[in-house]
């Protein structure tokens, strides 16, 4: 945005400090909420922002708990009984009760700017439709894949992408987390300003033990070769069907490996069956409050996803120097070296890929590449960039 455009924008709304209404409609708490919370202190410290009023789902207790330490005179939190449902872009025009609740909240907040915390463009489609067109709106969007990439059949994908296109055009500004996501939004129909605010890796706990101690604590053999998957057990998006197929086909040559699956989700039964039938050693564990411990113990992190935003787990592994074996998709191509990428499809040789990825030469090259990428990521700069994009001063 040019200085003249910023001047015109400020003429059309109240002068700083601004009142910001922050909307959310997902019962889930994941990476993009965690990323936003890392930027939140920068918004609270910014003199251009006078109030931050949150409206979040009653069902999202984890987000409410995470916001609790920030509550005060500048930041307040209210809840609503609604949540994004299936076919949201199509049904948003008919969600009148939710639309009226959003409109009443924004009006009562006297919001100069509305910030949409969206996992995907389908989130808060109701807000995009039901809030007045004159209302200044900013979208925080961690991914913007087309319906084909998300596994929809061609006939449905074309329709869904067409329906979603106006939602990309509605906000005055869109904030994304990588060049890959910026390109996705343009492809999806975004014509207005798009600002890239890169995520940063979580801070490692100072008490994280070394490799031997981590393995003792997790009851893993000190000589075991550990392949780690950590995240939601989602069959399609996370590519677990492809990883499971690779374990089955490479079973005999994976006998020296132990696979750790840390998380939860609908693919759990399929993972258990693949491990049992292939004879490969593996453990399925629930969510953990100590991901650092597993990363310290592991030899490689597996990311077989079909589509992603910028996974925090990827950044965390890079910061820990843990090599990654990932699928060849846009965001991984942006952040990872070519040697870390593989085609997790039919005929994929997982055993050979693991040997290559964990070889001394590849490990050294990966860690050198990771240090270069991480050197450009800075939390203070990201906070400043997010605040500037939010208030229209970027």
Mean of pLDDT values over 271-294: 94
What confidence tier does 228 reach under pLDDT thresholds 50, 70, 90? very high
Q: Which residues contact 245 (CB under 8 A, 6 or more apart)?
A: 346, 348
CA angle 334, 332, 289 (to 5 degrees): 125
Question: Is 3.40.50.2000 the CATH classification of the domain at 211-374?
Answer: yes
**For residue 14, is pLDDT > 80?**
no
* Rounded Cα gap, residues 316 and 308, in angstroms: 15
Q: What are phi and psi of 114, to 5 degrees?
A: -110, 125
**Three-class SS of residue 55?**
strand
pLDDT tens, residue by residue, 181-213: 999 999 999 999 999 999 999 877 667 789 999
Mean of pLDDT values over 268-274: 96
Q: What is the mean pLDDT of the chain?
A: 93
**For residue 125, is pLDDT > 90?**
yes
Mean of pLDDT values over 111-123: 97
End-to-end Cα spacing for the chain:
6
Mean of pLDDT values over 46-73: 98
Q: Would you tell me how many other CB atoms lie within 10 Å of the CB of residue 367? A: 15
**For residue 10, is pLDDT > 50?**
no
* Structural domain boundaries in the chain: 3-200+378-391, 211-374
* Rounded Cα gap, residues 107 and 101, in angstroms: 10
> Architecture of 3-200+378-391 per CATH?
3-Layer(aba) Sandwich (3.40)
Residue 270's nearest CA partner among 231, 240, 306 is 240
User: How confident is the model at residue 268, as a pLDDT?
Assistant: 97
Higher pLDDT, 129 or 11: 129
pLDDT tens, residue by residue, 295-336: 999 999 999 999 999 999 999 999 999 999 999 999 999 999
């Amino acid at each position: 945005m040019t200085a003249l455009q910023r001047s015109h924008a400020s003429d059309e709304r109240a002068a700083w400090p601004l009142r910001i209404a922050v909307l959310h409609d997902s019962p889930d708490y994941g990476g993009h909420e965690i990323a936003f919370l890392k930027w939140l202190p920068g918004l609270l410290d910014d003199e251009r922002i006078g109030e931050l009023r949150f409206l979040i789902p009653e069902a999202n207790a984890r987000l409410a708990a995470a916001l609790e330490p920030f509550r005060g005179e500048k930041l307040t939190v209210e809840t609503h009984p609604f949540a994004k449902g299936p076919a949201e872009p199509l049904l948003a025009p008919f969600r009148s009760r939710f639309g009226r609740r959003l409109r009443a909240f924004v009006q009562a907040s006297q919001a100069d700017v509305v910030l949409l915390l969206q996992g995907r463009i389908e989130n808060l489609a109701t807000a995009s439709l039901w809030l007045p067109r004159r209302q200044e709106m900013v979208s925080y969007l961690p991914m913007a894949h087309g319906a084909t990439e998300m596994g929809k059949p061609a006939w449905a994908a074309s329709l869904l992408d067409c329906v979603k296109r106006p939602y990309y055009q509605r906000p005055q500004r869109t904030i994304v987390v990588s060049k890959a996501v910026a390109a996705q939004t343009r492809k999806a129909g975004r014509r207005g300003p798009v600002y890239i605010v890169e995520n940063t890796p979580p801070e490692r706990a100072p008490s994280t033990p070394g490799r031997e101690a981590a393995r003792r604590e997790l009851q893993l053999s000190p000589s075991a070769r550990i392949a780690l998957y950590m995240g939601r057990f989602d069959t399609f998006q996370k590519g677990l069907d492809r990883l499971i197929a690779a374990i089955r086909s490479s079973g005999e040559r994976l006998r020296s490996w132990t696979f750790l699956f840390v998380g939860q989700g609908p693919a759990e039964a399929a993972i258990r069956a693949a491990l049992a039938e292939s004879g490969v050693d593996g453990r399925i564990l629930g969510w953990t409050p100590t991901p650092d411990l597993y990363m310290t113990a592991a030899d490689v992190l597996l990311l077989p996803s079909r589509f992603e935003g910028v996974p925090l787990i990827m950044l965390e592994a890079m910061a820990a120097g843990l090599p990654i074996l990932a699928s060849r998709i846009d965001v991984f191509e942006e952040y990872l070296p070519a040697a870390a990428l593989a085609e997790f499809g039919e005929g994929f040789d997982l055993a050979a890929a693991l040997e290559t990825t964990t070889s001394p030469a590849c490990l050294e090259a990966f860690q050198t590449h990771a240090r270069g990428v991480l050197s450009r990521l800075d939390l203070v700069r990201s906070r400043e960039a997010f605040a500037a994009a939010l208030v229209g001063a970027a």
